[in-house]
Structure 1
């Protein structure tokens, strides 16, 4: 049967009987490919429970009904799996990671803003962390949250659970620059911060954020922090 060049959609043949079967098959493929989103890109085999219309990006080495389908989009339709082969420039939203991917002809690349002919790229990223200050004393560091070779534009945040202790307010920064992303910050639930620096700050080594209790110490509270940054990918050497 003849197919379209890009999406391999089946074409209705001249004088074909039951044309609706072919048309419906093409519509199902379009439904999977247009405004493409997948549930996950990490499952190594099909889920045991799946809803009709759900799609997944098949990882390398997948098994069972996804065997030999590495890199394809698997869509569950009418009780079975159908597979689409991505083309250069396709974009995809991954539900469980909340990330946008772009296919460069070989790999799916995260959050691309611009790219060169040899795949050098600018990528935007926001890394988010819910951080419990606990009984952190006068200051407490998060886990390492800023990746190396990242240009950070801002850190934003919101207090999820009221910050307690004998402090007057608090500051946010890093080791050696404790107020870089804010000072005099509020303690109550719902308080927020928008720590925008005058110039992007480049971190060449991994870094943690530091919360400092001004005038006292932390005894409790949860803060949601988000680091807004850019990464710069190298061109291929081929």
Structure 2
């Protein structure tokens, strides 16, 4: 009989084993780490400087230090040191740092996919960026990808925009595609929903000043879109 369970590798107690509580507590600790899996982040290659007991991370590829050799595993700090759980294909994890749910496919962590048996897939993605406002317009570094279907771009005025009386959100060819005459006041929001539209080139988002050029302020853009694979 195996000394561990087949899926989570939880230690099993042996017949007439002494110190049974040690094995039992070890199993509970590992089960606590794996159940309802949520991690702090997924891009670290070295442990944080001041971890707290119970902290969990997905170890990024190329890890070193105490995490060396544990790429893609779940690193758990138990208060005394790091423990590692090897995920299996199908495990899912919520990543708090980028509010994204991922699934382990046997070799790495991917966005949760809707797919066919032969590998076709459709993925809903949401990305965001905070933009400092200056000049006649500001273009984002995030873009609607080539051959993606865009659903919406939401905006929030994080810091009151100055130098303009309003702004619009869109792309270079349609500057108000996701909202026009938007408020410059801090806290103002807009959800620019469009009829699902395919884009055939990577297309950055653009915030355009109205009634003058931007001299300050900050706006967050949130882009929602579908991408596909074959």
Q: Structure 1 residue 34: deviation in Å?
A: 0.7
1:191 aligns with 2:192: no
CA contact (8 A) 1:57 1:71 kept: yes
Counterpart in 2 of 1:153?
151
Q: Structure 1's 61 and 159: CA in aligned 2 closer, same or farther, altered over 3 A?
A: closer
Match of 1:231 among 203, 210, 227: 227
Q: Secondary structure at the match of 2:220?
A: strand
Superimposed CA distance per residue, residues 99-125 of structure 1 (whole angstroms, 9 cap, x where no aligned partner): 221011222102x24122344322221
TM-score by length of 2: 0.89
State the distance in 2 between where 1:98 and 1:80 align.
26
Counterpart in 1 of 2:68?
67
Which range moves more in the overlay, 63-72 or 171-180?
63-72
State the distance in 1 between where 2:131 and 2:68 align.
40
Superimposed CA distance per residue, residues 27-56 of structure 1 (whole angstroms, 9 cap, x where no aligned partner): 000111011122333322333422222222
Q: Structure 1 residue 66: deviation in Å?
A: 2.5
Q: Secondary structure at the match of 2:227?
A: strand
Match of 1:141 among 139, 142, 146: 139
Structure 1 unmatched ranges of 5 or more: none
Structure 2 unmatched ranges of 5 or more: none
TM-score by length of 1: 0.86
Superimposed CA distance per residue, residues 142-188 of structure 1 (whole angstroms, 9 cap, x where no aligned partner): 33433333211001111122222253x32221111122111122222
